[in-house]
């Protein structure tokens, strides 16, 4: 399966206290918000989707809701990566059973694994669902485990259903190495919003983007300008996005996703709270966010486009 364009790494709607999934209506409203802004695909239960703090049963339910709501309109990738191969296989079989278009699998995390172990992990998952496209997921800042380009090429040769990779790192040399290691049928997706345009120019087919979970217009505009060959406009749009990233959303300290949900609420769409150990913003942090969004609004495309007239108070 070949993918292109902006694939949104969706947030997961939760109850106000984060203890349970939100009701189906909230999912429908949120996914429709994204679809109406012309995203090219949806990626659920990944890093932005808080997949690692959801139970396996909840991850299955999110995937089922996503299939029901969006899969007839855009391709759906379900992230099934876990720290154990067995749990990853359970989730990937579920993704296949509900007819998701593909599954993404982050490299195992916490422990350090060598090349042989990582290869065995991916082979076991791919072989469990030979008819489902599998996308490897390289996220070294979180997993601390490497996925060398030569191993990617080896796994693609061994497992025909391994058809893509999400490269969530700013290292553009590594992205080029991935592009050179595989053929043109392989989907290479960038996962670092701050270098989205650079990745596209170096051979990425599209971007799996967390910032488009809240500001889809900005990422879609970058991709459309690139696709049309208007590199000058694409550069300006990337610069504007990076003002937002550097100024507000890449705040560190483990609360970045709380800023995403709070910013989305400011736009008029409340999708709930955070699941511990992640936390909500404090009142001071909420106030700083609102002031920052107001300052940055002129840099959106078109100016002010991330603000709704029916503003919802946080």
For residue 299, give every residue at least 6 positions away whose Cβ sits within 8 Å of its Cβ, in sequence order, or none. 240, 243, 244
Catalytic hit among 60, 166, 211, 261: 166
User: What's the distance, CA 89 to chain centroid?
Assistant: 20
Is the sign of the CA dihedral 112, 180, 76, 37 positive or negative?
positive
Contact 12, 50 (CB under 8 A): yes
Q: Which of 31, 113, 137, 266 is catalytic?
A: 137
Q: Is 166 a catalytic residue?
A: yes
* Alpha helices in the chain, H assignment, sequence order: 24-35, 56-70, 85-97, 115-128, 140-143, 149-158, 172-181, 196-201, 216-227, 231-244, 256-266, 283-296
d(CA 246, CA 121): 35
DSSP state letter for 54: S
Active site residue 266: no
Q: Distances from the Cα of 66 to the Cαs of 45, 75, 96, 207, 250, in angstroms?
A: 10, 10, 13, 19, 27
Residues marked active site are found at 137, 166
């Amino acid at each position: 399966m070949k993918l292109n364009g902006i694939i949104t790494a969706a947030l997961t709607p939760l109850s106000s206290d984060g203890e349970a999934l939100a009701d189906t209506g909230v999912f429908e409203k949120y996914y429709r918000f994204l679809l109406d802004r012309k995203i090219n695909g949806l990626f659920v239960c990944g890093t932005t989707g808080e997949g690692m703090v959801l139970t396996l049963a909840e991850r299955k339910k999110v995937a089922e809701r996503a299939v029901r709501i969006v899969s007839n309109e855009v391709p759906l990738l379900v992230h099934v990566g876990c720290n154990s191969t067995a749990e990853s296989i359970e989730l990937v079989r579920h993704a296949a059973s509900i007819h998701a278009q593909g599954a993404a699998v982050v490299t195992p995390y916490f422990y350090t694994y060598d090349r042989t172990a990582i290869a065995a992990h991916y082979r076991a998952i791919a072989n469990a669902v030979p008819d489902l496209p599998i996308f490897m997921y390289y996220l070294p800042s979180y997993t601390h485990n490497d996925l060398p380009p030569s191993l990617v090429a080896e796994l693609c040769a061994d497992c025909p259903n391994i058809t893509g990779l999400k490269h969530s790192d700013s290292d553009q040399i590594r992205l080029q190495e991935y592009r050179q290691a595989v053929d043109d049928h392989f989907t290479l997706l960038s996962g670092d919003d701050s270098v989205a345009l650079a990745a596209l120019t170096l051979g990425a087919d599209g971007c799996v983007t967390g910032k488009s979970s809240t500001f889809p217009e900005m990422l879609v505009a970058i991709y459309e300008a690139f696709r049309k060959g208007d590199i000058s406009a694409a550069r300006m749009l990337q610069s504007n996005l990076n003002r937002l990233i550097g100024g507000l959303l890449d705040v560190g300290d483990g609360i970045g996703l709380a800023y995403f949900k709070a910013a989305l609420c400011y736009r008029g769409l409340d999708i709930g709270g955070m699941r511990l150990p992640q936390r909500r913003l404090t009142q001071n942090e909420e106030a700083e966010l609102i002031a920052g969004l107001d300052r940055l609004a002129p840099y959106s495309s078109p100016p002010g486009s991330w603000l709704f007239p029916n503003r919802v108070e946080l």
